[in-house]
Structure 1
Amino acid sequence: MRERDWEQRLAAFVAERRAMPFEWGRNDCCLFAADAVRAMTGDDHAIGLRVHTSAQEAARLVLARGGLRQIATDALGESVPPAMATVGDVVLLMNEGRELLAVCNGGTAIAPGERGMVALGMDAALAAWKV
């Protein structure tokens, strides 16, 4: 459940991560989404996921856990249609032929990119999870 001041917590998290580049095991899509949830709720759903330091290790971890969709479902419960996502919810997007987890920011979803946070269109969302 979100804390009463979740909006301020999410805003502080976004400000902190705005210029932080993508980094496996620290600021990749899965940990970015989990850290945003932790900022809003105080719950860390990434326990056991902070063990990779490369794309290859991350791919093995995601495969072993059943994929990004299953990782999000295990942490947050059943998914909802992307149209039901609101600010702060976790979304699964397709971007450049790959799935990634992001955080709904209204009409866009935010995720870590090569040079800092990027905004992606919600029209690429495949699923969402209410936080």
Structure 2
Amino acid sequence: MRLPDWQTRFSRFGQERARAPFVWGTNDCCMHAAAAVEAITGTNPMAAFESYGTEAGPRRKALRRLLRQLDKVGGLQALVTAHMGEPIRPVMATVGDVVLVRNEGRELLAICNGVNAMGPGRDGMVSLSMQDALAAWRV
């Protein structure tokens, strides 16, 4: 359930992440989506993604664990579905919903901003076309 002040919290999230570079375990697509959901709802249904660690060794182990989990459940869409429930059609996504997007041949998580999906990029948040969305989850 969204908090009464979710729009302010979501706006603040966007401002904080606007120039944050992509970093595995800190600001990758899973961490980005999890942080956005937490900003909007106050809870993180994807808390399993929060185990990357901050040092290189533990982070690599956690990433390997995440990749094994992705293989085990059938990919990123299945993993997010396990944490957030059944997906909706991307055309039904509204501001703040989590979106699975195909970009440059890879699947990644982003957040719907109404027209596009926003996700972490090399030098900060990037805008991705909702036309490339494969699935979405209500927040």
**TM-score computed with the length of structure 1 as normaliser:** 0.92
Deviations 1:28-87 (A, max 9, x none): 001100100000001122323223335x85364144142211221122110000000000
Per the alignment, residue 111 of structure 2 pairs with 103
Unaligned residue ranges in structure 2 (runs of 5+): 53-58
Instruction: Indicate the RMSD between aligned Cα atoms, in angstroms.
Output: 1.5
3-state SS of the aligned residue for 2:25? Answer: coil
3-state SS of the aligned residue for 1:71? Answer: helix
Partners of 2:46 and 2:84 within 8 A in 1:
no
Runs of 4 or more, structure 1, over 6 Å off, are: none
CA distance in structure 1 between the aligned counterparts of 2:66 and 2:2, rounded to whole angstroms: 27
Deviations 1:5-37 (A, max 9, x none): 111110000100100000000000011001000
Per the alignment, residue 49 of structure 1 pairs with 49
Q: Is the alpha carbon distance of 1:63 and 1:124 closer, same or farther for their aligned partners in structure 2, counting shifts above 3 Å?
A: farther
1:70 paired to 2:75: no
Q: Larger radius of gyration, structure 1 or 2? A: 2
CA distance in structure 1 between the aligned counterparts of 2:64 and 2:126, rounded to whole angstroms: 21
CA distance in structure 2 between the aligned counterparts of 1:46 and 1:75, rounded to whole angstroms: 6
CA distance in structure 2 between the aligned counterparts of 1:64 and 1:74, rounded to whole angstroms: 11
Letter of the 1:105 counterpart: N
Q: Per residue, is there more helix in 1 or in 2?
A: 2
**TM-score computed with the length of structure 2 as normaliser:** 0.87
Partners of 1:62 and 1:68 within 8 A in 2:
no
Percent identical: 50
Unaligned residue ranges in structure 1 (runs of 5+): none
